[in-house]
Structure 1
């Protein structure tokens, strides 16, 4: 009997020990199951964080657009993007931290039962809003890299997802956004406060989706004008009409929900960047009222730009303004100024059913930007009236006129400015004195992880786009 008791006791002790050991694998501070709405919130914040970041290890688009020049470490402004593996960091941030959360959130919300007719509409609205966010995230990826994993991205059984053709992906995104607009029903709400941008306002999401379609239509206007006309004519009737429509994420003054720029430039005590002449000189030439909101003055009270692609003495040049580096400064995904410049371009191109003149939309774009940043309507009127700004008297093509003012208005949105420069070829960016690696990049290369872990699909994608190089132009970039 003693032997039996000893054996039973040993088994009980072992079983108890296993239970205790298994509990060590559970993190009581992390939920095992989360609502789909929470995953959507996480995806929204991660999308804004990644596009707003000023970390040289993740987001170098302010450097590529020449909104910033470097001080000591100048590799990235000479287009060495491989040493820090920046293409991989940005790729992973969007796939892992944005698209994965959106996919998981969508699955959970689809599984929710809708007990009442109103619940079914709210659920449908949520799914459409998630799809809009997915579509725009993929738009960033496809205009950044070219062919991308798309149809097989979230299939856990596909360890080697194929890279879909960039043009096919792009046109599918346009179709998805059109369907999402049609699916949204303003009679009910959606995410409520879980939506960090519009607090669930469905009408605002319709305007945002249409504004995205307007933007995306212009990207393909040079290679498929008929499709651009179709998309833009359908979307332009319900886009942003004031700064109140801006797609903004408001950060908080306390961590962990602070402005990423504050984290990267203030909390870190980094002094890595100055504002280059590319931006400062044209703004000085027109006495642009946005200068004190964009960057600091030097000790003499002047706004002075540094040399892009070369080392700069931090104290000798203008830096990012205190407004932008404040911990609670907001981030923008799209704004009214960008929409007005897009409408100006559509009119200038001709063939689109967009009312008004190119000059009228151009003026509205400039005024929207100036008043958003803190200037007055009178400041905007005075600025626009200058012969070197006025659309009628300013010399150059519509690409030059709209391109320069849109570039200035997109300040602090590096990816969008880089996209517009690739489309319009304006403004003229300054090539570094010593280009160590290439000419100005027109795409990011694929991540090293894809080359190592998904080699067959990577090789096919690289060959399909004309080579995995930063100088390979994407399907829409013809000029």
Structure 2
């Protein structure tokens, strides 16, 4: 027995020694010892762009709700005939992928992720939480990633918490705090990340403005007076640039095999009304050359009525949005200028609200390749476009809705907050003439986190598409 035990111990020692030797042999002397932070950063940027611009959260839901796109077949999402399984991707990818990976970076020791990595991770996590609360309302925030069944926080708690998180992110970011690799958005340019932080702080300030005006004003002042500044040109927009398959724009991939979306008639009619030169960017001419003009698809139709509009006689979204390398715009310069205009109009900050409004429209034109000064000036001089100080929400809301074309989640949030333009539900929609005000919680929350889910619904209101969220006061 002793002999047998000795043999086992010797065998185990030999195997251990062999394993150690193999580990040494298999080490790459040129590889970094701590590669995870760059890899996780690259992954979250790509996955975040896919989440924001992909079908589930964008063109098969929020872009339909704000009537940027419309469906010409399989029209159930355009009629709001959806279930609590329809909005799982934003929730699941947001929590199990993005927030989990970003928390991993935040929890790394300093030698594995310098403070710039952690500042970027905190910024991206704040952006992710912002998308989640804008869409669903109350969400797990403070306990997210810490408990299997985290409690939900109210939307007010999430927004105010994110303002503090972004302050902390700003304090972590500095050009002297180490280099960053794996950054496919800003290529390690920390000054641009700091501008993004302040731009998000300003966005949140306006989200809470109708509920907490004093805090909103304070947040707007802090964001606009911070020495790092805000996004200040189209070269600084926060975006993810796709390449070719399989790393292509999600809408491009969709249209390679599907043909069930068109630009909405609502957008086409508005752009024609305004003689807006963005129309040929946002839309393609119908494939039937005899039509010879841009024709949008109506929202909220039955399958048969949607089909009868004619696949060849209606306009697909513009090729700007449907090529493999089309960028995923996540935070634009024009949005920042619109936010500055509104902050000035509300008296939160000093500034010329009208001039900032004009600059925001100009930035949107430039973003889409329209740079002719005469064309821009003529557009801005139209009475129907001119800034209305007595109803800044209408002026800013309408133009922001146009500028956000393709950015469904943020267009949906701002349309609910500003209530412009006035949209009408389609004839075959199922919400008694109402438009959606939020996403359903995923059905799995009821079974896996039922106690927290029930408490959130009791406080916020029924888990319906028509339940207004805290920030949506009108």
Paired position in structure 1 for 2:296:
305
SS at the partner of 1:430?
coil
Distance 1:407 1:189 in 2: 39
Counterpart contact for 1:59–1:90, Cα < 8 Å: no
Aligned partner of 1:210 in structure 2 is: 198
Q: Give 1:34 shift.
A: 5.6
1:151 aligns to 2:113 (yes or no): no
Deviations 1:142-173 (A, max 9, x none): 12111111222212xx3222112221122011
CA distance in 1, matches of 2:384, 2:280: 20
SS in 1 for 2:87: helix
Tell me, in whole angstroms, the C-alpha distance in 1 between the residues paired with 2:164 and 2:391.
32
Q: Residues of 2 paired with 1:451 and 1:318: CA distance?
A: 41
Please tell me whether residue 453 in structure 1 is matched to residue 444 in structure 2.
no
Is the 1:248–1:330 contact (alpha carbons within 8 Å) kept by the matching residues of 2?
Answer: yes
Q: Deviations over 1:209-249 (max 9, x none)?
A: 10011111001111111001000011123112111110111
Say whether the 8 Å CA contact 1:55–1:264 is kept in structure 2. no
C-alpha separation between the residues in 2 aligned to 1:391 and 1:57? 29
**Displacement after TM superposition at 1:323 (Å):** 2.0
Unaligned runs of 5+ in 2: 16-33
CA contact 2:59–2:408 (8 Å) conserved in 1: no
**Which range moves more in the overlay, 197-206 or 464-473?**
464-473
Residue in 2 that maps onto 1:281:
269
CA drift at 1:289: 0.9
2:216 corresponds in structure 1 to 228
Quick one: which of 335, 342, 365 aligns to 1:345?
342
Q: Name the counterpart of 2:87.
A: 87
Matched residue pairs, number?
A: 439
TM-score of the pair, normalised by structure 2: 0.87
Name stretches of at least 5 consecutive residues in structure 1 with no aligned partner. Answer: 17-32, 114-121
Q: Matches of 2:403 and 2:57 in 1, distance apart? A: 23
2:21 matched to which residue of 1? none
Q: C-alpha distance in 1, partners of 2:386/2:51?
A: 35
Q: Does structure 2 retain, via aligned residues, the 8 Å contact 1:58–1:90?
A: no
Deviation at 1:186, TM superposition (A): 2.6
The answer as to whether partners of 2:57 and 2:408 remain within 8 angstroms in 1 is no
Q: Is the 8 A contact 2:56 2:86 kept in 1?
A: no
Query: For the residues of structure 2 that align with 1:448 and 1:241, how far apart are their CA atoms?
Result: 41
Q: Distance in 2 between matches of 1:196 and 1:382?
A: 37
Provide the C-alpha distance between the structure 2 equivalents of 1:72 and 1:258, rounded to a whole number of angstroms: 24
RMSD: 2.7
Alignment of 1:390-469 (within 5 A): 390-391=386-387, 397-437=391-431, 439-469=434-464
Q: Deviations over 1:1-42 (max 9, x none)?
A: xxx99xx9xxx9xxx9xxxxxxxxxxxxxxxx9612211211
Task: Give the whole-Å Cα distance in 2 for the aligned partners of 1:337 and 1:228.
Answer: 20
- Match for residue 75 of structure 2? 74
**Distance in 2 (alpha carbons) for counterparts of 1:182 and 1:151:** 20
Kept after mapping to 2: 8 A contact 1:340/1:365: yes
Match of 1:19 in 2: none
After the TM superposition, which residues 103-114 of structure 1 pair with which residues of structure 2 at under 5 Å, given as runs? 103-108=103-108, 110=109, 112=111
Maintained 8 Å contact 2:56/2:87:
no
1:61/1:143 Cα in 2 relative to 1: closer, same or farther (>3 Å)?
same
Q: Structure 1 residues 56, 313: closer, same or farther in 2, change over 3 A?
A: farther
Instruction: Please name the residue that 1:20 is paired with.
Output: none
Give me the whole-angstrom Cα distance separating, in 2, the residues matched to 1:191 and 1:454: 37
Any conservation in 2 of the 1:50–1:58 contact (CA below 8 Å)?
A: no
What is the distance in 2 between the residues matched to 1:314 and 1:58?
18
CA distance in 2, matches of 1:264, 1:469: 29
Alignment check: 8 A CA contact 2:208 2:216 kept? yes
Question: Per-residue CA shift, 1:387-411, capped at 9, x if unaligned?
Answer: 221226xx97211111111110010
Give the secondary-structure state (helix, strand or coil) at the position aligned to 1:182: helix
Provide the residue aligned with 2:120 in structure 1. 129
Q: Structure 1 residue aligned with 2:234, among 238, 243, 255?
A: 243
Q: Please name the residue that 1:382 is paired with.
A: 378
> 2:99: which partner in 1?
99
Rounded Cα–Cα distance in structure 1 between residues aligned with 2:143 and 2:215: 26
TM-score, L = length of structure 1: 0.86
More deviation, 463-472/207-216:
463-472
SS of the residue corresponding to residue 320 of structure 2 reads: coil
> Is 2:259 the partner of 1:271?
yes
2:101 alignment partner, SS class? helix
Aligned-partner Cα distance in 2 for 1:171–1:358 = 26
**Aligned equivalent of 1:50:** 51
Counterpart-to-counterpart distance in 2, 1:203 and 1:56: 30
Q: Given that residues 88 and 441 in structure 2 are in contact (C-alpha distance below 8 angstroms), is that contact kept between their aligned partners in structure 1?
A: yes
SS in structure 2 of the partner of residue 274 of structure 1 = strand
